[in-house]
């Protein structure tokens, strides 16, 4: 079945540092999404990518959809304590509604 390999599994960084995480897949996706889950909450959409090569920003977040449609990265600049949480990548293929999720990257920010 379709799988997304997400790395790293966890990260500990200092406040103010930049962070990068990525996802790869052997399958092609038409839409790529990045979600964040805060403790005790459900995942919340951060960025959605629809076109191969697309680079999109949302405040301090930047994400790119790989040219082959098989990978994506998410960058967070100048991290702050509220960036703590689990970040999930997810892919969606054309004609389907379900999301295929990665295993998540747990981010901890040290003040």
Partner 1 sequence: EAGVTQFPSHSVIEKGQTVTLRCDPISGHDNLYWYRRVMGKEIKFLLHFVKESKQDESGMPNNRFLAERTGGTYSTLKVQPAELEDSGVYFCASSQPLAGGPLNEQFFGPGTRLTVL
Segment 49-78, which members bind partner 1 (CB under 8 A)? 50
SS (H, E, C) the chain: CCCEEEECCEEEEECCCCEEEEEEECCCCCEEEEEEECCCCCCEEEEEECCCCCEEEECCEEEEECCCCCEEEEEECCCCHHHCEEEEEEEECCCCCCCEECCCEEEEEEC
User: Is the Cβ of residue 75 or residue 92 nearer to partner 1 in the bound state?
Assistant: 92
101 lies in the site for partner 1, by CB under 8 A: yes
Strand partners, 62: 57, 75
* Least distance (Å) between residue 3 CB and partner 1: 8
* Contact (CB, 8 A) for 72 and 25: no
103 lies in the site for partner 1, by CB under 8 A: yes
User: Is the Cβ of residue 31 or residue 62 nearer to partner 1 in the bound state?
Assistant: 31
- Unique residue bearing structure tokens 């996802």: 23
80 lies in the site for partner 1, by CB under 8 A: no
Stretch that binds partner 1, among 12-20, 44-52, 53-61, 68-76 (CB under 8 A): 44-52
96 lies in the site for partner 1, by CB under 8 A: yes
95 lies in the site for partner 1, by CB under 8 A: yes
Near partner 1 by CB under 8 A: residue from 12, 14, 41, 111: 41
């Amino acid at each position: 079945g379709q799988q997304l390999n997400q790395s790293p599994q966890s990260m500990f960084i200092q406040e103010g540092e930049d962070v990068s995480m990525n996802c790869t897949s052997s399958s092609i996706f038409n839409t790529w999404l990045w979600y964040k889950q805060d403790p005790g909450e459900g995942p919340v959409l951060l960025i959605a990518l629809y076109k191969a090569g697309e680079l999109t920003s949302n405040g301090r977040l930047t994400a790119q959809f790989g040219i082959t449609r098989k990978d994506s990265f998410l960058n967070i600049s100048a991290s702050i304590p509220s960036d703590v949480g689990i970040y999930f990548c997810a892919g969606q293929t054309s004609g389907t509604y379900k999301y295929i999720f990665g295993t998540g990257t747990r981010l901890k920010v040290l003040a």
